[in-house]
A and B are shown apart, each in its own frame.
Chain A
Amino acid sequence: MKNKLILFLGLFVATTVVTLAQDNISPARKQAIDSLALEKVKDLSKYIAIIGNKETQFSEANRVMDRAEELFAPGAEMGVSSINTNEIAYYKVRRYFERLMALNYDKVNITWYDIQYVSDLERQPDGRYVGVITVYQRFEGTSIETGMNYKDTTKKDITIYVEKKQTQIAGRTIEFWDVMLGDVRVTETSA
């Protein structure tokens, strides 16, 4: 019995040491990376509000679309739902932004709130950190001509990928944390 206990403790210590060796990031550093990723999602919320806003000039909306697209991993998709149907459509992010800009309303107001981690960033075997951030989106579209007024609230889960990369700046090698947003999945839709 005593031998088994020693063996168990030994395995536990060995596993802990291996885990720490793989993930040698202090809590303060990890928190800075968590905040960085969260801030990118908040940036996306601002970009979406600008793109959707009917008062935004075409050239500005296109510029912001470029910035918003840069936040995403290649091939990432955005889910779109409606309270009028159970179907959730997925579009490539650029296509989603273009559709958002072209929505047939006179006034569009989009706000994101309660932006927070539902799954903390965790190191994967390939060295990347992966987590999930959830957001609530309030959409309000008003058409003056038809008097149509559509409102809904959707809960969305965004997969976050964080990876350490290198680049050359003025002959210096700079190591930076690259945050990429993955698919945005709709998990709830309500009026």
Chain B
Amino acid sequence: MKHILFSVSLRKTLFLSLLLVLALGACKSKKKVVEPTPTPVVKEEVVEKPAPPAPPARSAEEIAVERLEKYFNTVSSAASVTSANQSIQEVLAMFSNQEIPILIVIHEEGGVKDYDEPTTIKKYLDYLKDTKKNLNFISDIRLDGSGKVSELELRRK
């Protein structure tokens, strides 16, 4: 009787031990599954975008046109004669002399230009100051060797 009891107990113990081993093994393998897998390092390919093309360097003529257009607006909208005269002096410094002729195209058709009576830069600036209207834009400009305006053609807006 005692032998049977011992053998059952042994079997039980062995069985339990087996279960324990299996359980431990299962736990281990489960732990292995849960273990975070290292995320693959996605290498961001740094695609070097081509730099936008640098704006072409502006010519001296383009810079002069921009400055003159601003000055023409300033003179025609000046709040006082004094401030208009100050701007006029600054504009005149851009010209080789104050008698530089100004041509104003009032119409063009078939390559033929119709002009207003030619004037000078000094008179034109005074005209802007007196009438307070700036009806023309610069359509052509020439600079001399020292960068001063030597010819100017305007056109009706």
Contact = CB atoms under 8 A, between A and B. Distances in A.
Main secondary structure of the interface of B (DSSP, over half): mixed
Interface string A32-54: 11011001001100110010000
Chain A CB count within 10 A is highest, among B103, B116, B127, B156, for B116
Query: Which size bracket describes the interface of A in this complex?
Result: 20 to 34
A169 interface: yes
Interface in B118-132: 118, 123, 126-127, 130-132
Interface string B79-109: 0010000000000000000000101001101
B140 interface: no
A35 B81 CA distance: 28
B106 A33 contact: yes
Nearest to A49: B130
Main secondary structure of the interface of A (DSSP, over half): helix
Interface residues of B, number: 20
B109 A57 contact: no
Contacts of B8: none
22 contacts: A32-B107, A32-B156, A35-B106, A43-B130, A43-B131, A47-B130, A60-B81, A63-B126, A64-B130, A165-B117, A167-B118, A170-B101, A170-B151, A174-B103, A174-B118, A175-B114, A176-B114, A176-B118, A177-B106, A177-B114, A177-B117, A178-B117
A-B interface, 10 closest residue pairs, ranked by CB to CB distance from nearest: A32-B107, A176-B115, A46-B131, A32-B106, A169-B101, A36-B106, A176-B117, A29-B107, A43-B131, A178-B117
Interface of B: 81, 101, 103, 106-107, 109, 114-118, 123, 126-127, 130-132, 135, 151, 156
